[in-house]
A and B are shown apart, each in its own frame.
Chain A
Amino acid sequence: MTSNERKGLTRRALLARSVAAGTLTVIGAGFIAAPNAAWALEVSVISEHEMATLLQMARDIYPHDRIADRFYAVAVKGYDAEDKKAMVAEGVAALDAAAKAAGHADYVSVGWEEDRVKLLQGMEDSAFFQTVRGGLVTGLYNQKEVWPLFGYEGESFSKGGYINRGFDDINWL
């Protein structure tokens, strides 16, 4: 039984809201996935809702529209762990409470990024927010697979450096 069910939230309601938010889908016990099924993430310790919230939060903290959800999923999957469970539960509950106070069902169902960002700004100094944000700095940007999306070429020694590969090829000055 997930913590959401314990709180009286049904998986059906969760599913409906996630779909309504247009980003993530709870596809079964312990899974959430992209609507286009490009990736799926299994959770075993925290709830699907909590993981869906972390994913949305990650996108809102470091939004890159050309970077797919699956990279953010990699960055936050480590929170599905016993030693993170309490922090996540408390943090997501606080975020959802703030969303409710602003007239929304919960954080992930807030439609506009700028409205979600306002909720995050309200908890910017919390340990939960700072832990998630700090973890993303390496969790997201140190994935070699995202580097090409920024144009960054990474390791170059094995290719002989750039001495014959454009270290001075700028042509618009």
Chain B
Amino acid sequence: MSNATTGPYNLTGVTPDTGLKVGQSDESGPVLAADGTSLKSSLNRALRKQKMRALLLIAPLLFFILVTFIYPIGEMLFRSVENQIVGETLPRTVVELADWDADVTDVPDAPVFSALTKDLMVAVEEKNHTRLGSRLNYELSGVSSLFRKSGRGVDDFGEVYTDQFVALDPAWEDPATFIAIFAGERWLTANAAYDGEGPRPTFRLAPGVEDVLPETARMYADFARVVQVEDDDNPAEEDPWNAVYLALYEDLSAGAVIPADFPQAALLTQAQDAVATFDTEDLRAQFVEIDEDWADREVWRIIQGYSAPYTAGYFLNAVDLQQTPDGVAWRPENQQIYITLFIRTMIMSTAITLACILLGYPVAWLMANLPARQANLLMILVLLPFWTSLLVRTSAWKVMLQREGVINDLLVWIGIVADDNRLALINNATGTIIAMTHILLPFMILPLYSVMKTIPVSYTRAAKSLGATNWTAFWRVYFPQSVPGIGAGSILVFILAIGYYITPEIVGGTKGVFISNRIAYHISSSLNWGLAAALGAILLVIVLALYWAYDRIVGIDNVKLGG
């Protein structure tokens, strides 16, 4: 009995790994296959077909997940920092504004306003200025109306120059003059051949014109594009905007060198000689006249601050911070809501998860231990809520929980609660917790049940035969083995809960809403998608962080959704 040869590790004879031991013992280098190639590559070759087939089988799902899951999340994350609208809508202004220092000069100088005139002209015609207005309005209220108002007046800006050019020579009134200077050969031919079918040929500048009259060429190209695309008209027949004359004035007075063979060279040279005597127009005064906010340093600071294509502004906003000239600072007290909402979402989700564990554990245990027939019946009852719409169930809770509702009536009838002091069970956090616990309970019960189902009855029996009372047997033997089920259920319920939207919306009132309700508000009402995306990204990070913490503390191997 006690000699070593009968010990479990001293069994002699052939075991399944005997062959392996033999194979390893007399080979020192890499093991070779029968044909002399390395066994590894031989194995790889043999398995390649299987791997390919496996890959092909999962390919549709992989593609589906990429398109419907990974891509939208990436898009959302991108949106939370993306800010190209300012740079795209006001390209000239952003460039001019780059050197402006808010601490030195209160309001930017003339070139900025000239650039703004041109940018705004294009934006108004393309109807982009209101979008930009609402975007910047997230950062400073009032900007939206500022842009809208300015958009109505900007087409008159620079009219002084138009009039003076026309007075100099009526040819400046003729669209053909501009076409002759700016339009490229190929476009001219294509435009002449255009028969009204399909899109108009894309306008192209004549080669070299950008070197001679850079601002005007750029402005005219914008004008031609807008006329063609937005208005579906022929630029050759349309009077250019005042902004084009403004640009021409600027180019000429900046000392453009007109080559002798340049189209309309005589006309241009004549104009260049005259511009020095032109009356000028104070564009800044014009803007301030439309809205004096244009003289406000803050407005310009916002435009300058958000001119970069990417911004942390949405994220700062999502955690109740803001960018100020002195760096990042808290928003005013009365505007701080998101951190409170995040914390509330966490606390209430935790409460819901705990409530689900408390209510779900006994049910799951019963289901795992009853005979199949009763267990199935119970399972149907657990799954029954899935058969009715979420909205119906939540609305039912409204009926149950309201001040004159079933539960309050019952409590009053029993005499626990005074009639004039009915409990507030709905439109607050209590309502949200009650309704969401009910709705998420199956997600706790099912993993718990499937784990408990795999715990053999012999464990508890063994514990009892070893002298444990019912409680000890449960607490020291059964419960630890059901923990993976609790873990899986908790992760499911918690993650579902922090992203829940409909139920808090209906029964939550103001005190019981979650961060997702705010996200939904920004998606569908305020249309601040960037902020919604930032909030969503933060939520995603929180979930991942919790998952990581869970893995560190409990171990993700300890999560089981089934046997």
Query: A and B bound?
Result: no
